[in-house]
Structure 1
């Protein structure tokens, strides 16, 4: 099945890439999650628009990615969870979008939530490690302190 990716799919490609995948993978995973569209003549014309939008959001180059990683390392991130029980367990969890908001609040660079990888779910108060993939060659880890409000 020939598809055009609309989002970054690990181990497959970036937005705008035309890929050939097995029918089941395309039908059952990529298409329902809106990660890809079927490659038709009309859709292939939209590839340029998708790639332009991606380049606007993307880190410019390796040097810029290292610069942004340095900025992120200098930040002290604290996320105030809505509520927690007596044992420190949160009612809910901290998501990648919460981490991006905390970076923005701390005066850091604008990040896309899809570049932030939260290991499992953060469901307890304390310090947790979060990975940010800025460039295929540059990843950085952030310490996120979760406190109950």
Structure 2
């Protein structure tokens, strides 16, 4: 019996795969627990259409991420932090503050987890902050840190 898996099944296959199983295993386990459906021509066609739809949506997300990365290239945000003795920065700028500044200054909602900041910014000046917009797209944003 051939079944199309609706979920990942350990030691059998991943979601969307067509696998050959024994009749009893298919009827008594896979079909009853809704882990898969029988591989009929209608179900195979539905699976093909679903995969095409998922590929189209993934391509749209990738294009949107590329557009946003291009939009962010020439943009910059300004943050101010207190200066200590001798013009040294008192404190630092974290990804949370940068995300809030992006929302306030550029009207873009970017999650702080997407900002690739290995450590907080502790110096004045302009810094390039990479933003992971998609698994294949990384944009850059200029962050100017000035004295308060």
Under TM normalisation by the shorter chain, which class is it?
Answer: 0.5 to 0.7
Q: Which residue of the partner structure matches residue 129 of structure 1?
A: 128
Summarize the Cα distance change of 1:144–1:88 in structure 2 as closer, same or farther, 3 Å threshold: farther
Q: Give the TM-score, by structure 1 length.
A: 0.55
Cα deviation, residue 135, structure 1: 0.2
Structure number with greater Rg is: 2
Kept after mapping to 2: 8 A contact 1:88/1:125: no
- Alignment length (residue pairs): 91
For structure 1, the 5+ residue unaligned runs are 1-17, 19-58
Runs of 4+ in 1 over 6 A off after TM superposition: none
Q: Look up the SS of the partner of 1:100 in the other structure.
A: helix
Summarize the Cα distance change of 1:88–1:117 in structure 2 as closer, same or farther, 3 Å threshold: farther
For structure 2, the 5+ residue unaligned runs are 1-7, 9-57
1-structure distance, mates of 2:77, 2:128: 11
User: After superposition, where does 1:5-24 map in structure 2 within 5 Å?
Assistant: none
Q: Which residue of the partner structure matches residue 111 of structure 1?
A: 110
Q: Look up the SS of the partner of 2:67 in the other structure.
A: helix
Larger helix fraction of residues = 2
User: After superposition, where does 1:1-149 map in structure 2 within 5 Å?
Assistant: 61-81=61-81, 83-149=82-148
Kept after mapping to 2: 8 A contact 1:68/1:109: no
Cα deviation, residue 86, structure 1: 4.1
Give CA deviations for 1:66-88 in whole Å, capped at 9, x if unaligned. 1111222232211111x112433
The RMSD of aligned alpha carbons is 2.1
Q: Look up the SS of the partner of 1:145 in the other structure.
A: strand
Larger strand fraction of residues = 1
Q: Give the TM-score, by structure 2 length.
A: 0.55
